[in-house]
A and B are shown apart, each in its own frame.
Chain A
Amino acid sequence: SQQGEEDPQALSIQEGENATMNCSYKTSINNLQWYRQNSGRGLVHLILIRSNEREKHSGRLRVTLDTSKKSSSLLITASRAADTASYFCATAMNSGYSTLTFGKGTMLLVSP
């Protein structure tokens, strides 16, 4: 069964707007990661947040993690057409070598 569930399934915005995607999961985790996938390509790692962290930034990306609610959000500020992609959250239950469990993703369309 899939651990993470992203919301919304699809999001359409204009360039310059902010995009927020949410991820909920069911069991305790060690860390949560966000990945981007352009159509027909491999995934690209964006950011990792550990269970003892609440917020993390990387460029125009801001990730929050609320372990009490078992949820995370990914905010992309000042979106660009090049941000058009599917975004997946993935959870790792253990530290060290741990497999990831992926959600079904949010498809983001940024229109010029």
Chain B
Amino acid sequence: DGGITQSPKYLFRKEGQNVTLSCEQNLNHDAMYWYRQDPGQGLRLIYYSQIVNDFQKGDIAEGYSVSREKKESFPLTVTSAQKNPTAFYLCASSKGGLAQFFGPGTRLTVL
């Protein structure tokens, strides 16, 4: 049963804490992406990776970090440097850079 999973579904963070959002895919896709979505808004690209051990900043990378040690996994860390992290985070993957397949999302709330 192929797909892309994200965990946790809901995450609460205290100010000053780093948190890591998980994204795993078993679609054998080369490229993976992280987006942020704010209420009533479209998606904004945080980071993306086209191959293992390589990744590039998107439009809003400040305050975030990623790693791509395995093809299947692309975790996103929201650091304390991100001043307004409350948002819905979506991970996606694609093969050949065409249609993207999305995970169910993680809703992060800062307390």
Contact = CB atoms under 8 A, between A and B. Distances in A.
B104 A41 contact: yes
Interface residues of B, number: 27
A45 B99 contact: yes
A98 B88 CA distance: 23
B97 A88 contact: no
Contacts, number: 59
B48 A99 contact: yes
Contact of A104 (B31, B42, B97): B42
B96 A42 contact: no
Given A31-B98, A48-B98, A102 B31 contact: no
A104 B99 contact: no
Contacts of A95: 97
Interface string B39-64: 01111110010100000001000000
Interface size class of A (residues with CB under 8 A): 20 to 34
A88 B30 CA distance: 24
Given A90-B43, A97-B31, A104-B40, 15 more contacts: A2-B42, A33-B100, A40-B88, A42-B90, A42-B92, A42-B103, A43-B100, A48-B98, A48-B99, A88-B43, A98-B97, A99-B58, A100-B45, A102-B35, A102-B44
Interface of B: 30-31, 33, 35, 40-45, 48, 50, 58, 88, 90, 92, 96-105, 107
Q: Which 3 pairs between the two chains have the least Cβ-Cβ distance?
A: A42-B102, A97-B97, A102-B42
